[in-house]
Chains A and B, each alone.
Chain A
Amino acid sequence: MSKIIKNLKQFSTANERLEGAHLLCPGCAHSIIVRELVNCTDHNLVIANATGCMEVCTAVYPYTAWDTSWIHIGFENAATSAGAIAETYKVLERKGRLNKNAENTKVLAIGGDGATYDIGFQFLSGAVERGHDFTYVCLDNEVYANTGGQRSSSTPVGASTTTTPAGSQSIGNKTTKKDMIGIMAAHGAPYVAQVAPNKWKDMIMKFQKALEINGPTFVNAMSACTTEWRFPSHQTITVSDLATDSLAFPLYEIENGVYTINYRPKNIVPIKDYLAIQGRFKHLFKPGNEHIIEEWQKRVDKKWVQLQKMEEMTNS
């Protein structure tokens, strides 16, 4: 029962399922994304949340911000938990023990990039490979924000983090971001997509699709982090716009192997404009580091060409 949401006015009639007074930082994109996620559908939702900012800030006894069923077990096992809940649903339904009020339930897993790209990678791989009917949403802020800003395998080149601090001998993080979307697609997941909260319509369209499609679906959500990316809290949407318009986070989906680019910026913004607004990349603008930004631009351009080719190839 995904609802049809034609415009924002209509969307705004949704009754909230994530309450305020959670403890996420002012301006956090996590809760923008998750609000849109839980409010874009009428399905009952069971959420398995991995350890991370979203988890640690929404269920601190004696308060829960969740109006729907929610469980946090560990850092690494949100996908496993979601898969197991989906299997339980199946068994209880078959054995006639499912609550009447549980009809039309969808199972969601939520994790940060730490939980998804790193510590829970094997668990996610296992759960997707087994084909459980659930949707995994990664809140990708490219850093272990909850533990104080350490790099993850999603952290891009040149980001200064607390474990890859930029300094006289270091440009910050030296590795390129892991291609989680490609990896999930390679598992044969029927639906894989990337979203960003500033493009709310695209985002909820993909969330709805991911929830509706039977089997394991994966959505990587770009989540600008005011604290660790170091920008003022009111600029979350501005930074997100630069991320999508510079193609640092291209918005696309892969449905049964078929690529679709969902957003083609009218004016592609240079990557340096996206980097310049964030404190974590400040050092890249010092003399001598120009090449890092140039290489970055090349990488983005190349990925964009690749994506367009994949789209062409898989649609022909």
Chain B
Amino acid sequence: MSKEYVLKEVEFWDGAMASSQALRQAEVDIMAAYPITPSTPIIQNYADYLSNGYVDGEYIRTESEHAAMSACVAASAAGARVTTATSSQGFALMIEVLYQASGMRLPVVLNVANRALAAPLNVNGDHSDLYLGRDAGWINLCTFNQQEVYDMTLMSFKIGEHKNVRLPVMVHQDGFICSHTAQNVAPLQDDVARKFVGDFEAVDSLLDFARPVTYGAQTEEDWHFEHKAKQHKAIMDSINVIEDTFEEFEKLTGRKYNAVESYMMEDAEIAIVALGTTIESSIEAARQLREEGIKVGIVAPRVFRPFPYDKIADALKNVKAIGILDRSSPGGALGMLFNEVTAAIYTNDTKPVINNYIYGLGGRDTTIADLKQIAKEIQANADAGKLTTPVQQFSGLRGPKLSFFDMESSK
């Protein structure tokens, strides 16, 4: 039995602490992890709780992230509540096993402190790792500040373990900007949090010998498609459980979450779509711009997988122009968020002008001024009713302006 950890009504936590505390309250049975910046403090904090009796579990100190996720999958199949945390290269090393976790329908929880991918090597935040895992069949929850990290991490267990879901869940936070900076976080007390998350119920456990089970069978061309389709249906349908869980959490805490978050969208003429801590900066930029008469709103997918296609379309149905911001090197395409959001609004009657910004790579600071500049360009597109800039532009980059697809001048 673990000791109770008395928490203040409001704690001053960095994102890593917010997630560690949630993991502790979820009474994780097994953490299997390998340290990597900037996710490291998450597992160190957990080790500390373990060493001092604040959680009853085992920490498997694996020799790599691949092994960490492998251990998570096996332990989960054996009936444990399991978790790990990683970033960047470690996330890349886990990729093979991410697909195993989702294919075997195991509710592993993975905290990702988002960080750029080498080369060149970089330890700071961008969304390259988030993008890398997008087709792995995991539920992806995005957070924009430390409070949300805590809330989403708690909810991730409840969502993933729900009998109608049974899928692994990632909770993303921006490396360093969120993981290593502190803000006020209002946590639940241990008993309340535990009650909310609930007990772990093992399903098809390897340690149930009344019903021996084979995990990880091979399915070839006559079976594979059906299995993958069923898995896809499960993650598509998980949105219902996610939204129910958000609702239940709101009743408990008063904090309301949505599959797609909208800020100042009621009267917005233009919108910024982004992920991560950029949302908080964008909200501040929007407040300032509104004083100048620019009616900008912000839309952000809270649930990135399953992708809330319909809700994105709905959130953006009244704006004239949209700027979609991608914090990942697109490697020869338009940004992924641009592509997915654009596809979602294609069937709207309004045909907003849409452009794409690549920004903030490798932890490059994105200032309020940068975001205001972006909003002004979006406003110009709205006013002109057509693109006044190339489709894809790099923001915050030194050197000559870098952009692609200048549709006007190529006419």
Contact = CB atoms under 8 A, between A and B. Distances in A.
B61 interface: yes
Given A60-B220, A74-B97, A88-B30, A69 B73 contact: no
Contact of B209 (A60, A91, A101, A130): A101
Given A66-B212, A71-B215, A46 B207 contact: yes
Interface string A119-142: 000110111011000000000000
B96 A71 contact: no
A211 to B, nearest CB: 16
Contacts of B64: 122-123, 126
A48 B74 contact: yes
A64 B56 CA distance: 35
A81 B97 CA distance: 12
B63 A126 contact: yes
B214 interface: yes
Given A61-B219, A92-B79, A71 B207 contact: no
A5 interface: no
B71 A83 contact: yes
Nearest to A95: B56
Contact of A56 (B71, B210, B218): B218
Contacts of B75: 84-85, 87-88
Interface in A83-135: 83-85, 87-92, 94-95, 97-99, 101-102, 105, 122-123, 125-127, 129-130
A76 interface: yes
Given A74-B97, A87-B75, A90-B58, A99 B205 contact: yes
A123 B63 contact: yes
Contact of A92 (B73, B77, B80, B213): B80
Interface string B89-119: 0000000110010000000000000000000
A275 interface: no
B61, B70, B79, B210 interface centre (most CB from chain A within 10 Å)? B70
A49, A56, A74, A127 interface centre (most CB from chain B within 10 Å)? A74
B214 A66 contact: yes
A48 B70 CA distance: 11
Contacts of B60: 83-84, 87, 130
A125 B78 contact: no
B279 to A, nearest CB: 36
Contacts of A76: 66, 70
B74 A67 contact: no
A129 B63 CA distance: 10
Interface in B40-94: 56-58, 60-64, 66-67, 70-75, 77-80
B208 A77 contact: no
Nearest to B101: A73
A272 interface: no
B128 to A, nearest CB: 23
Given A91-B29, A101-B210, A85 B205 contact: no
A287 interface: no
A31 interface: no
Interface string A274-306: 000000000000000000000000000000000
A85 B70 contact: no
B80 A82 contact: no
Contacts of B220: 60-61
A201 interface: no
Given A66-B212, A94-B56, A81 B73 contact: yes
B74 A71 contact: yes
Contacts of A64: 214, 217
Contacts of B214: 59, 64, 66, 69-71
A44 interface: yes
A66 B72 CA distance: 23
Contacts of A60: 217-220
A89 B80 CA distance: 9
A133 to B, nearest CB: 12
Contact of B74 (A44, A82, A90, A101): A82
A167 interface: no
Contacts of B202: 97
Interface string B193-214: 0000000101001111110111
A125 to B, nearest CB: 7
Nearest to A57: B218
Nearest to A68: B212
A220 interface: no
Nearest to B74: A81
A88 B213 CA distance: 17
Contacts of B213: 69-70
A82 B214 CA distance: 14
A244 to B, nearest CB: 33
Contacts of B215: 70-73
Contacts of A80: 62, 67, 70-71, 74
Nearest to B57: A91
Nearest to A60: B218
Contacts of B319: none
A316 B296 CA distance: 84
10 contacts: A61-B220, A69-B209, A81-B73, A84-B32, A85-B74, A85-B75, A87-B58, A88-B58, A94-B56, A102-B207
Interface of B: 29-30, 32, 56-58, 60-64, 66-67, 70-75, 77-80, 96-97, 100, 200, 202, 205-210, 212-220, 223, 227
Give the top 4 A-B pairs by smallest Cβ distance, nearest first. Answer: A126-B63, A72-B216, A81-B74, A77-B70
Given A73-B73, A82-B74, A89-B78, 9 more contacts: A59-B216, A61-B219, A61-B220, A61-B227, A73-B100, A80-B74, A81-B74, A83-B71, A99-B207
